[in-house]
Amino acid sequence: MLKARIAAFFAAGIAGFSTVVTAAAIVVPGSTYDVYIRGETSDQPFNGVATFDPENVSLFTRAGLNLTLLENEFDLGGGEYSILIQLAADGDLYPSPGEGAILGVGLFNGLDFQQPVYLEDARIKLFDPFGQIFLSNNLADDYRHLIPTPWDGGFLTGTPFIIGNAGGRGVNLLEFQFQVTTAIPAIPEPETYALLLAGLLLLGLENRRRSSRRRAPQPLAT
């Protein structure tokens, strides 16, 4: 039953892609990585080390719960790949009401890739027994300054995320969804930086002139 539910979530996870996806390896076969979870109040830290293997699941226990870890990866074409990692439990992973869900992938041991990749999109989802209850923004954009290029496979390396008010809601499945590309991100030409700087200077001068006009004495109304 649990495996069937996980498979259904994977199918739903790739259904949103408009391009045809196929199974393909961007992660090095046999690459090991860790998944970290902890309750902000209930604590019970768990750091499971698994082998990335879409053909098999990894089994763990934590605080009396049975955990199932499953991965998959898809070739979206054009050097783009999707990587999915799900951790399911047979009970509430964050049982204390209102506590934060602390979690991360590759905090101490990130995924290994067949070639350099660049993280374009990264999202975290939380599910209860009835479906999805939380979807993050694109955290790759929100925390771009903390993500190395090329990506080291950690999310984030040495720093877990916390999702507030997740406790006591029956969260029994976590999903990490990553989209990576093998294309090197474009680096602006020096001329682009010069134009940008010139534009900022002009904007600053205009704002300064407007500010001076606002501070200038005004005629008294009669």
Residues paired with 32 in a beta bridge: 51
User: Mean of the pLDDT values across residues 94-120?
Assistant: 96
Q: Are strands 101-105 and 22-23 parallel, antiparallel or unpaired?
A: unpaired
Assess if residue 215 is contained within a domain: no
User: Mean of the pLDDT values across residues 14-29?
Assistant: 66
Assess if residue 23 is contained within a domain: yes
- Does residue 204 have a pLDDT over 80? no
Q: State the residue range of the domain holding 9.
A: 2-181
Total number of domains in the chain: 1
Place of tokens 């300064």: 208
For residue 185, name the pLDDT band (cuts at 50, 70, 90): confident
User: Mean of the pLDDT values across residues 188-193?
Assistant: 54
**What is the average pLDDT value for the chain, to the nearest integer?**
83
Q: Give me the pLDDT at residue 96, please.
A: 98
60-89 residue pLDDT tens: 999 999 999 999 999 999 999 999 999 999
- Return the structure tokens found at 26: 């961007």
Q: Give me the pLDDT at residue 160, please.
A: 94
Closest CA to 132 of 73, 72, 172: 172
Phi, psi of 211 (to 5 degrees): -65, -40
For residue 157, name the pLDDT band (cuts at 50, 70, 90): confident
